[in-house]
Chains A and B, each alone.
Chain A
Amino acid sequence: MTLPSPLAQYICSYVADQYFPAYLRVDADGTILELGGQLQHYALQALRSGDTTYDSLNFLTGIIPLENDSIFLPLVKDQQGRSMDVHIFPDQDNGDWILLLDGNTSEEQQLELQQQGNYLALQTHRQKQHLSKLFQNPPSEQDTTDDSHFSALVDVAILNITINPSVGTAAAPMTVIQAIETYFATVTTEIVERSGVVAAQMGRSILAIFGLVPIKLPPSQQAVETGLEILRQASSIASSSTDPALSELCLSFEAGAMVTSGASALGLLRASPYQSMGLISPQMPEIIGLTGHIRPRELMIDAQTFKQLPDDKYAFTQSELSFKDSSSMTIYSYRP
Chain B
Amino acid sequence: MLQKKICMVGAFATGKTSLVSRFVRGIYSDKYQTTVGVKIDKKTIQIQEQMVNLILWDIHGEDEFQKIRMSYVRGSSGYILVVDGTRSETLDKAISLQSEIKKEIGDVPIIMMLNKSDLTSEWELDDQTIEQLSQEKKWTVIKSSAKEGLGVEKCFNSLATQIISQ
Contacts and interface: CB of A to CB of B under 8 A. Distances in A.
Nearest to A72: B71
B17 to A, nearest CB: 11
Nearest to A108: B36
A118 B12 contact: yes
A58 B40 contact: yes
Interface string B45-76: 00000000101010011011110010110111
A115 B34 CA distance: 6
A140 interface: no
Interface in B64-104: 64-66, 69, 71-72, 74-77, 86-87
B37 A77 contact: yes
Contacts of A129: 86, 122, 124
Contact of A121 (B4, B33, B42, B63): B63
A62 B5 contact: yes
A41 B22 CA distance: 29
A288 interface: no
Interface string A118-151: 1101100100010000000000000000000000
A62 B77 contact: yes
A276 interface: no
B134 interface: no
Interface in B8-46: 12-13, 32-34, 36-42
Contact of B3 (A54, A71, A76, A77): A54
Contact of B33 (A62, A63, A115, A117): A115
Contact of B53 (A58, A110, A115): A58
| Interface SS of chain B | loop
A277 interface: no
A54 B3 CA distance: 8
A61 B63 contact: no
A97 to B, nearest CB: 16
B36 A61 contact: no
Given A59-B57, A118-B63, A74 B122 contact: no
A62 B4 contact: yes
Contacts of A73: 38, 69, 71-72
Contacts of A119: 32
Contact of B36 (A72, A110, A122, A125): A110
A111 interface: yes
Contacts of B86: 129
A77 B40 contact: yes
A125 B87 CA distance: 8
Contacts of B72: 73
Nearest to A85: B37
Contact of B37 (A54, A62, A76, A117): A76
B61 A61 contact: no
Nearest to A80: B40
B4 A61 contact: yes
B36 A111 contact: yes
Nearest to B33: A115
Contacts of B64: 117, 121
Contacts of B87: 125
Contact of B40 (A54, A79, A114): A79
Interface of A: 54, 58-59, 61-63, 71-79, 83, 103, 107, 110-111, 114-115, 117-119, 121-122, 125, 129
5 contacts: A61-B5, A74-B37, A75-B37, A78-B40, A117-B63
